[in-house]
Chains A and B, each alone.
Chain A
Amino acid sequence: MTGNTTTVAWSRGRWWVAAALAAFLAVQVVVPTFGLLGPRPARFGWQMYSIADAAPRAWAEARDGSLTSLDLTGRLAVLRADTRDASAIGTALCTGSPYAAVVIQFGNDPPERVPCS
């Protein structure tokens, strides 16, 4: 091929390609735009490294209400702020523990308290 651009004829079937293309482009803009409206970093929003201390943190809450920091290294495969599954992480940390609750914070989000029942 030595030319720059060639053109094929328009056909009815190409409408589907055009429609899929337009939809893909719209999704590529709309999804990250919504991501800007919520807490950061948001998934699918291209917000990498936009906040400091992105690793999730956890504390064990004793029966008397005192908090002790928990080390999540080795328990979580990756320490990512956008994981945001406090319920599952809290439940796992509660299992077999004497804690009254576990408090988890992702990035700059408000801390979430997961009671250990």
Chain B
Amino acid sequence: MLLNRLRGLVTDRVDPRPLGVTRAGVGAAALIITVELGGYLSALAAPGAIRLPQVQAIAAPVVAAWPLVLGLWAVASVAFAIGLETTIAGAAIVILAVAFFLTDSQLYSNHLYLLTLVVAVLTLAGADRGFSLDARRRGTQELKPVPAWGPFLIRFQVTVLYAFSALAKLNGSYLSGSVMASYLRSDGPLAIPESWRSFQVMFVLSLIRNAFVAGLFLHLGILVTFQPTLPFAAFGLLTLSLYVPFLNAAPASRLVIWDGSCSFCGSWVTWWRRLDWLGALRFAPMDQPGVLDANGISAQAATEALHVVGPEDTRRAFGAVRAVAEVLPVSFLWAPLLSLPPVQWLGERAYAAVARRRSCAVVPGQRPADSKASA
């Protein structure tokens, strides 16, 4: 069974866009890390600094020409983020990261190590094939799929990261709260008061109902309350970007049925199209022949509310908005919050209020330009 699974990872081909979106986030994280690396390299180059070179032949030129090396890193990071000459940029990031590790023992960090691994995986797995300038420049209508092992390795990496991070924290010191207290922010407007620094148990795992939301709050919470800021920002962005391959958003897997005569709805559809970087959504105006019958939706229901037909169910009104948010890379992390009772209650009422008034927004004789169904 394991062999069959392994064989499937090698032979299966999947949509490239989740890897592309992940690549963009990872590249942005690499750019943030530039600032951190710059501080460390300038400190190493300063007179009197203690150096711990791993390979002297690499350490000497890297420290001597660190602004140039760092400039290359920044350029490669930007190129990787936007998907321009992605393979070269990815290779450059990996080579430079390895050079940093060999330059000095002090340049190691867990997020630089994580970045190196995921950039290598993304580069080898063809993350340039979706959501990239490279793909746009090729001008192919059909996206070239990527091997299934790419997204799998990213998911595996995140799982390993959290699992071992948790295992390492199973010690008396950490569970007492003293470790976290020692990293809490002590200055600035977000400083944690001294009286709050002696708390004991922080996490109640049974309350964590959704891993995306938990991860988002974990990293945002760390960013807001812990110091130093920059490494935590880089680590948070890097790790949250790696969540995208966990997202269950198969291409064209959700059909959005909307009132094509409503310009207000058309504006929303236009924005959703722009943000649907994974291509998970299809759009069909309710007056498209056969679309309502094929999906078991009455004309009256379609007039009253937006519908999203997904692989598991059909959601309407505010639930449909939530279904869309769950597959957009900009919102999937917090979309589960929309199902919390108070948020859902507010959302449903807000949706109903807007839906009652939306006919006012219809411009007679004018239809939104993108009201044609698309796949």
Contact = CB atoms under 8 A, between A and B. Distances in A.
Interface of A: 1-10, 14, 17-18, 21-22, 24-25, 28-29, 32-33, 35-36, 40-41, 43-53, 74-78, 80, 82-83, 85, 88-89, 92-93, 108
B15 interface: yes
A33 B163 CA distance: 11
Interface stretch (B168-176, B188-196, B283-291, B325-333): B168-176
Interface of A is mostly: loop
A92 B167 CA distance: 35
Interface of B: 6-16, 39-41, 43-44, 48-52, 104-110, 113, 142-145, 147-149, 153, 156-157, 160-161, 164-165, 167-169, 171, 173-174, 178-183, 235, 250-253, 279, 375
A76 B164 contact: no
B9 A4 contact: no
Contact of A14 (B11, B106, B171, B174): B11
Given A1-B16, A52-B182, A80-B109, 15 more contacts: A1-B142, A1-B143, A1-B144, A2-B252, A3-B251, A6-B145, A21-B10, A22-B6, A28-B160, A35-B164, A36-B167, A50-B165, A52-B179, A76-B106, A88-B52
Contacts of A76: 43, 49-50, 106
Contacts, number: 146
A82 B52 CA distance: 12
Contact of B173 (A36, A43, A51, A89): A51
Contacts of A92: 50-51
A36 B251 contact: no
A50 B169 contact: yes
Contacts of B173: 51-52, 108
